Structure 1
Amino acid sequence: MSQATGSTEPTTTRRTLLCCGAAVLAGGSALAVAGCGPSNSIAKGDSKSSSSGPVDLGPATAVPVGGGKVFADQRIVVTQPSAGQYKAFSARCTHAGCLVDQVKDNLIQCPCHGSRFNVADGSVADGPAPSPLPSYQVTVTGGNLSVTTA
């Protein structure tokens, strides 16, 4: 399934085949299959979370103390381990690139394969994720959160 060396065509990976095969077996339509493969923004790196300028996320009050909030459109998760202490991380799991979907019981949780990350530092609390979530700089100005991702 791989292309010859030097070709500009994308190669088909085992992960692409597994993803697409699972979508088809699950009764997925062409739309579900279209999300699989190298053209998937998560697989390639999403420009939404790789801009160098600050990303405004709205009121800091949206992030509960001892918990956090996933900003899925921006591919960012912000936590508040203790009052007034905000942390920001990539919302892409370091295992397979899935987006984390919630912060519960002081853990950032990935729905795909069960990885869990600590809210205080993004470190792996439970695998299969091999490494911590990348951290970002977060500031609160006038009660609003701003995150710099690069």
Structure 2
Amino acid sequence: MNTESLVSRRAALCGIAVALAVPSGLVTACSSTGTSTGSSPTSAGGSEPTSGAAGSAGTALVALADVPEGGGAVVDGPGGRKIVVARISATEVKAYDASCPHQGSVVAEPAGGTITCPSHGSQFGASDGSVKKGPATSGLRVVAVKVDGDQVVLT
């Protein structure tokens, strides 16, 4: 198979995706540039602030007991978006939009202080979401959370 037929197939699939008005995050994944718009996909195809959707403050994401210390969990957040929660210590958690900034794949649960994208191998620091290894060129978007009793909640 030659390169021309691969590019033509990609262009055709992206054209179909646009014609069917799929969410913008999926259309962006068709891009071969690897750039990011800096916004998070939502179920309606728009963007939302990374600190959580309006009215979602205090929404419980996961029980603290279900997030292993030194590890984490990928959970459902408001609007169906995935959020990765990393437990840094017994009482400290961090959370990020689970969409890899490289091409939008959902990242895996943190392990050993690292969050890895299974699609292309990008790695991010669990304590700050920064890029440790590409191809991603920007870090994960922070989602504001806190520990409230025995739950990790949006703030």
Normalising by the smaller structure, the TM-score range is 0.5 to 0.7
- CA deviation string 1:89-127 (max 9, x = no partner): 110101111111222222111111100111100001110
Superposition TM-score, scaled by structure 2 size = 0.65
**Structure 2 letter corresponding to 1:134:** R
Identity of aligned residues (%): 36
- CA deviation string 1:17-61 (max 9, x = no partner): 27959xxxxxxxxxxx97xx8614633712489322234213111
Whether the aligned pair in 2 keeps the contact of 1:102 and 1:110 (CA below 8 Å) is: no
Whether the aligned pair in 1 keeps the contact of 2:91 and 2:147 (CA below 8 Å) is: no
- Write 1 or 2 for the structure with the bigger share of strand: 1
Matched ranges for 1:1-150 at <5 A = 17=10, 20=13, 39-40=22-23, 42-43=25-26, 45-47=41-43, 50=48, 51-52=53-54, 53-54=56-57, 55-72=59-76, 73-148=80-155
Alpha-carbon distance in structure 1 between the residues aligned to 2:108 and 2:13:
21
RMSD over aligned CA atoms reads 2.9
Alpha-carbon distance in structure 1 between the residues aligned to 2:138 and 2:129:
9
How many residues align? The count is: 121
Q: Which runs of 5+ in 1 are unaligned?
A: 1-13, 22-32
- 1:121/1:38 CA distance change after superposition, 3 Å: farther
Q: Which runs of 5+ in 2 are unaligned?
A: 1-6, 28-40
* 1:101 match: secondary structure: coil
